[in-house]
Amino acid sequence: MPDSADKHTTPAGSEPLFEARGLTKIYNPGTEAEVRALDGVDLDLFESELVVLLGASGSGKSTLLNILGGLDVPTDGTLDFRGESLTEADERALTQFRRETVGFVFQFYNLIPSLTARENVTLITDIARDPMPAEEALALVGLGERMDHFPSELSGGEQQRIAIARAIAKRPDVLLCDEPTGALDVKTGITVLEAIARVNEDMGTLAMIITHNAAIAEMAGRVIHMSAGRITEIHTNTERRPAHTLVW
Amino acid sequence: MRSLDLKLIRDLRTMKGQMLAISLVMACGLTMLITFRGLIVSLETERDRYYSENRFADVFCDLEQAPNSLRPRLEAIPDVAAVETRIKGAATLDIPGMDDIAEAVMISLPDERPQRLNLLHMLRGRFPEPGSRNEIVVGEAFAEAHAFMPGDTIQAVIHGSREHLRIVGIALSPEFVYELPPGAIVPDNKRFGVFWMNERELANAFNMDGAFNNVVLAVSPGGDINRVKEELDRILRPYGGRIAYDRSEHTSAEWVEMEIESLRAVALAFPIVFLAVAAFMTSAALTRLVRLQREQIAQLKAFGYSSRAIGLHYSKFVLVAVAAAILVGAVGGYLAGRGVIVLFHQFFRFPSLTFHPDYLAVLLGVVASAATAFLGVLAAVRQAVRLPPAEAMRPEPPAKYSPSRIEVTGIQHLVSPAFRMALRNLERKPWQGLFTAFGLAMATAIPILPGAMRDGMDYMMDFQWRLAQRQDVTLGLIEPGSYTAFTSMRNLPGVVEAEPFRSVSARISHGHLERRISLSGLTQDARLNRLLDAEEQQVPLPLSGVLLSRKLAEILDVGPGGVVLLEVQEGRRPVVAVPVAGTITDFTGIGAYMDIDEVRRLMGEGRTVSGAHLTLDAAEWDRFMVKVRESPRIGSITRTRAARESFDRMMGEMFGLAQAIYFGFAIVLAFGVIYNGARIALSERTRDLATLRVLGYTKREVAGVLIGELALLTLLALLPGLFIGSQMASAILEAASTETTRFPVVLTSRTYATAVLIVLASSLVSFAVVGRRIHRLDLIGVLKARE
Name the minimum distance, in Å, from the CA of A128 to any CA of chain B. Answer: 9
**Which of chain A's residues have a Cβ under 8 Å away from the Cβ of B420?**
114-115, 119
Contacts of B8 (CB under 8 A, 6+ apart): B313, B316, B317, B320
Q: Does the pLDDT value for residue B89 go beyond 60?
A: yes
Residue A75 has what pLDDT? 94
Per the CB < 8 A criterion, the answer to whether B740 and B254 are in contact is yes
Complete domains list, chain B, with CATH: 59-252 (no CATH), 495-616 (2.40.40)
pLDDT over 60 (residue B321): yes
B779 touches chain A (CB under 8 A): yes
What is the pLDDT confidence band of residue B769, given thresholds at 50, 70 and 90? confident
pLDDT band at B103 (very low <50, low <70, confident <90, very high): confident
What percentage of residues in chain A have a pLDDT greater than 90? 52
Whether residue A72 and residue B780 make contact (CB cut-off 8 A), yes or no, is yes
pLDDT for the residue numbered A5: 39
Distances (CA, A) of A155 to A161, A162, B565, B568, B782: 10, 11, 87, 92, 21
Of B401, B698, B782, the CB nearest to A113: B401
Indicate the pLDDT class of residue A9, thresholds 50, 70 and 90: very low
CATH of the domain at A190: 3.40.50.300
Instruction: Kindly state whether B416 is in contact with chain A, defined as any CB-CB distance less than 8 angstroms.
Output: yes
The listed range with the strongest mean pLDDT (A5-14, B287-296, B320-329) is B320-329
Q: Range with the lowest mean pLDDT among A83-87, B535-539, B770-774?
A: B770-774
Average pLDDT over residues A19-23: 96
Residue A232 domain boundaries = 47-70+94-245
pLDDT higher than 80, residue B376: no
Mean pLDDT of chain A: 88
pLDDT at residue number A3: 43
For chain A, first and last CA: distance in Å? 23
User: If DSSP codes are grouped into helix, strand and coil, which group holds residue B64?
Assistant: strand
Q: Is B698 an interface residue toward A (CB < 8 Å)? A: yes
Q: Give A179's contacts in chain B (Cβ within 8 Å).
A: none
Q: Is B417 close to A115, i.e. CB distance below 8 A? A: yes
pLDDT over 50 at B771, yes or no? yes
CA B67, B72, B78, B79 torsion-angle sign: positive
For residue A100, give how far its alpha carbon lies from the nearest alpha carbon of chain B (Å). Answer: 8
Rounded to whole angstroms, the Cα distance separating B633 from B638 reads 15
Between chains, do B786 and A100 touch, taking CB under 8 Å as contact? no
Which H or E run contains B163? strand B161-172
pLDDT given for residue B394 in this prediction: 67
Nearest CA-CA distance, residue A160 and chain B, Å: 14
pLDDT at A11 exceeding the cut of 70: no
Contact yes or no for A114 and B424 at CB 8 A: yes
What is the percent of chain B where pLDDT is above 70? 98
B688 and A113 in contact by Cβ < 8 A? yes
Please tell me the distance in Å from A66's CA to the nearest CA on chain B.
8
Contact in structure between B229 and B235 (CB atoms under 8 Å): no
For residue A59, what are the contacts with CB-CB under 8 A and spacing of at least 6? A226, A227, A228, A229
pLDDT attached to residue A115: 87
Burial class (CB in 10 A: 0-12, 13-18, 19+), A119: buried
In a domain, residue A16? The reply is no
- pLDDT digit string (tens) for B442-453? 889 988 988 888
Q: Is the pLDDT of residue B108 over 80?
A: yes
Would you call B97 an interface residue with chain A, using a CB distance cutoff of 8 Å? no
Among the partner residues B425, B693, B698, nearest to A114 by beta-carbon distance: B425
Q: Is the pLDDT of residue A10 over 70?
A: no
Choose among A66, A110, A127: nearest Cβ to B696.
A127
Quick check: B400 and A72 CB within 8 A? no
Strand segments (E) across B444-494: 473-481
Q: Is B786 at the interface with chain A, CB within 8 A? A: yes
| Cβ pairs A/B, distance under 8 A | 90
Residue B486 near residue B612, CB atoms below 8 Å = yes
Q: State the pLDDT confidence band at A191, using cuts at 50, 70 and 90.
A: confident
Instruction: Say if A12 falls within a structural domain.
Output: no
Between CA A211 and CA A107 the distance in angstroms is 10
Q: Which residues pair with B366 in a beta bridge?
A: none
What is the distance in angstroms between the Cα of B375 and the nearest Cα belonging to chain A?
A: 29
Q: Is pLDDT above 80 for B626?
A: yes
CA torsion, points A18, A23, A25, A26, in degrees to nearest 10? 180
Q: Please give the C-alpha separations between residue B699 and each of A94, B59, B696, B703, B773, in angstroms, as whole numbers.
A: 12, 75, 9, 6, 10
Strand partners, B761: none
Considering the domain boundaries, does residue A98 fall inside one?
A: yes
Q: Which residues of A192-219 are buried (b: 16+ CB within 10 A; e: fewer)?
A: bbbbbbbbbeebebbbbbbbebeebbbb
Q: What is the pLDDT of residue A8?
A: 40
pLDDT band at B164 (very low <50, low <70, confident <90, very high): very high
Contact at CB, A108 and B786, closer than 8 angstroms: yes
- In terms of DSSP bridges, do strands B609-616 and B473-481 run parallel, antiparallel, or are they unpaired? antiparallel
How many structural domains are present in chain A? 1
Angle, CA of B649, B652 and B654, to the nearest 5°: 115
Residue B89 phi, psi (nearest 5): -155, 175
Q: Is A66 on the interface with B (CB under 8 A)?
A: yes
CB B260: neighbour CB atoms within 10 A?
A: 17
Global ipTM: 0.82
pLDDT tens by residue, B49-80? 999 999 999 999 999 999 999 999 999 999 99
pLDDT digits (tens, 9 = 90+) for B572-585: 889 999 999 999 99
Contact B400 A152 (CB under 8 A): yes
Could you tell me which residues come within 8 angstroms of residue B697 by beta carbon, excluding any fewer than 6 positions away?
A: A95, A99, A127, B705
Q: B195 pLDDT exceeds 70?
A: yes
More confident residue, B483 or A4: B483
CA distance B7 to chain A (A): 23
Q: What is the pLDDT of residues A96-137, one digit of tens each?
A: 999 899 999 988 888 888 888 998 998 888 888 889 999 999
Using a CB–CB cutoff of 8 Å, tell me whether A73 touches chain B.
no
Closest approach of chain B CAs to the CA of A56, in angstroms? Answer: 15
CA dist., res. B62 & res. A173, Å (int): 101
Residues found in chain A: 248
> Hey, is B598 helix, strand or coil?
helix
* Residue range B760-771: mean pLDDT, rounded: 87
Question: Does B403 contact chain A (CB < 8 Å)?
Answer: yes
Q: Of B2-6, B314-318, B600-604, give the range with the top mean pLDDT.
A: B600-604
Look at residue B727 and tell me whether its pLDDT is greater than 90: yes
User: Which one has a higher pLDDT value, A156 or A234?
Assistant: A234
* A223–chain B nearest CA distance, Å: 23
If one compares A167 and B185, the residue with the highest pLDDT of the two is A167
Q: How confident is the model at residue B365 (pLDDT cuts 50, 70, 90)?
A: confident
Q: Does A158 touch chain B (CB under 8 A)?
A: no
Check residue B295 and give its pLDDT: 82
Residue A117 touches partner B, C-beta closer than 8 Å: no
Identify the band that residue A205 occupies on the pLDDT scale cut at 50, 70 and 90: very high
At residue B397, the pLDDT reads 65
List the single range of B223-232, B256-265, B632-641 with lowest mean pLDDT.
B632-641
Whether residue A39 is contained in a domain is answered as no
Answer yes or no: is A215 within a domain: yes
Q: Tell me: pLDDT of B398 over 70.
A: no
Q: Is residue A24 part of a domain?
A: no
Q: Is the pLDDT of residue A12 over 60?
A: no
**Where residue A7 falls among pLDDT bands split at 50, 70, 90?**
very low
Summary mean pLDDT of chain B: 88
CA angle, B130 then B135 then B137, to 5°? 105
In a domain, A20, yes or no: no
Can you say how many angstroms the Cα of residue B688 is from the centroid of all Cα atoms in its chain?
Answer: 50
In this prediction, residue B721 carries a pLDDT of 94
Contact B780 A102 (CB under 8 A): no
Mutate to test the interface with A, among B691, B706, B778 (most CBs of A within 10 A): B691
CB spacing of B416 vs A126 below 8 angstroms? yes
Is pLDDT at A243 greater than 80 in this prediction?
A: yes
Residues of B in Cβ contact (< 8 Å) with A128: 696
The reply to whether A95 touches chain B by the CB within 8 Å rule is yes
In this predicted structure, the answer to whether residue B329 has a pLDDT above a threshold of 50 is yes
Contact list in B for residue A116 (CB cut-off 8 A) is 403
Is residue A41 situated within a structural domain? no
Q: Is residue A4 pLDDT above 70, yes or no?
A: no
